Amino acid sequence: MSAPEMLQPEGLGKPVGMYSHASRVGDLLFVAGQLAVDAEGNVVGPGDFEAQMRQVFRNLGSALAGGGTSFGGVAKLTTYLTRADDVEGFYRVRSELFAELYPEGGYPPNTLLVVDRLVFPECLIEIEAVAAV
């Protein structure tokens, strides 16, 4: 069994704690929960759920590319929202994004959780992924 390779993909800000943005073990890539922050670590779109969700997907794309894969390799997503009122918006924005990311269908499984808060209180969404490389 090969040891995990810890990754800090380009285009992502420095992690906010003692962790790596992704790790690769063999043909699997594990992506840490991505927030709506830019490469400098600034929160994008405070209070704007759609802007935050789109930034989260940009960050996921960077993490996946840095690990040698793309959204087509995603085997599982886990989504965390801080407001139950954003569930409808999540479904709407996801359908727009997935139409581009998965034009053939075949969407990855997703677990959706509503939590009290995320590491930055102004962040409304966080998504982590497991993907095949």
pLDDT, tens digit, 9 for 90 and up, residues 27-77: 999 999 999 999 999 999 999 999 999 999 999 999 999 999 999 999 999
Distance, CA of 1 to CA of 42 (rounded, Å): 38
* Number of domains making up the chain: 1
Judge whether residue 17 has pLDDT over 80.
Answer: yes
Instruction: Please give the residue that has the higher pLDDT: either 71 or 1.
Output: 71
Provide the pLDDT for residue 46. 96
- The pLDDT-based confidence of 16 (bands split at 50, 70, 90) is confident
- What letter would DSSP give residue 43? B
pLDDT at 2: 82
130 CB burial (10 A radius; 0-12, 13-18, 19+): middle
pTM: 0.96
Q: Which residues form the domain of 112? A: 5-132
Span 90-99, average pLDDT? 98
**Confidence band of 4 (pLDDT split at 50, 70, 90):** very high
Contacts of 92 (CB under 8 A, 6+ apart): none
For the cut 80, the answer to whether the pLDDT of residue 109 exceeds it is yes
| pLDDT for the residue numbered 84 | 98
Q: What is the CATH number of the domain that holds 102?
A: 3.30.1330.40
Structure tokens at 90: 């999540």
